[in-house]
Amino acid sequence: MSEERLQKILAKAGLASRRNAEELIRQGKVTVDGKVVTEMGCKVDPDKQVIAFEGRPLCLEEEKIYLLLNKPRGYVTTLHDPQGRPIVSSLLTGITSRVFPVGRLDFDTEGALILTNDGDFAESILHPRFEIERTYQAEVRGLPTPEKIRMLEEGLELEGKKTWPAKVRVIAKEPTTTTLEITIHEGRKRQVRMMFAAIGHRVVALRRIAYGGLRLGALPTGKYRRLSPSDLALIFSQKKSSLQLNT
């Protein structure tokens, strides 16, 4: 094997996506031939050099695993939480390989969460250039007017940057709340909550129900299933240009 960038090797080993692997390097958790490496762009030949994470040599030939978890509220999408809150990996009974979440879901958000040990696959979902859609079901306070929904669909200013156009559909109206389905392809932190807050309708419950064409379906809360090759193909079957929802 020829030399490759260290963060790419870490991603192939299933430690994290390529971007998160860069953070692990910055934190000084990675060594090459026993020496800590913290600079980006370092190239390494894994056939000739010993790469270790937190003192443990990497295994580059691990079987690739792809899981879909229906994350409950009250769990964090990290592999360790200093505050001692429940972590999503504790729900993966029977999975002995190390996997990591693809992106995040907030502590109070539930629904579809993919976990894998395939860093390149994670990168293909997370990087904005691939425009992989995420669909959410949001219950919000009040009744958004057609004009406010149009603001979401056309894109609005959040923290100095305009959001990409979203697809929004009203599902149900109650006296004090409205349930909507919204599809975006960005992954900014707490983006859906901030988008609805920006139009004056606070989110009271949020659930991710799809990655691309892969729907959460009837998977029970707190349970997971392994994804097949056809499931993985569904993720990439819808692009931002179509913005069509399967209901």
Active site residues: 106
**Checking DSSP bridges between strand 134-141 and strand 214-215, what pairing results, if any?**
unpaired
| Rounded Cα distance, 102 and 92, in Å | 15
Nearest alpha-carbon partner for 191 in 219, 224, 155: 155
Residue type, 210: A
Residues 6+ apart with CB under 8 A from 176: 141, 142
Cα–Cα–Cα angle for 221, 222, 226, rounded to 5 degrees: 100
Q: Rounded to the nearest 5°, which phi and psi values hold at 210?
A: -165, 145
Burial of 100 (0-12, 13-18, 19+ CB in 10 A): buried
The single residue listed with the structure tokens 């809150």 is 85
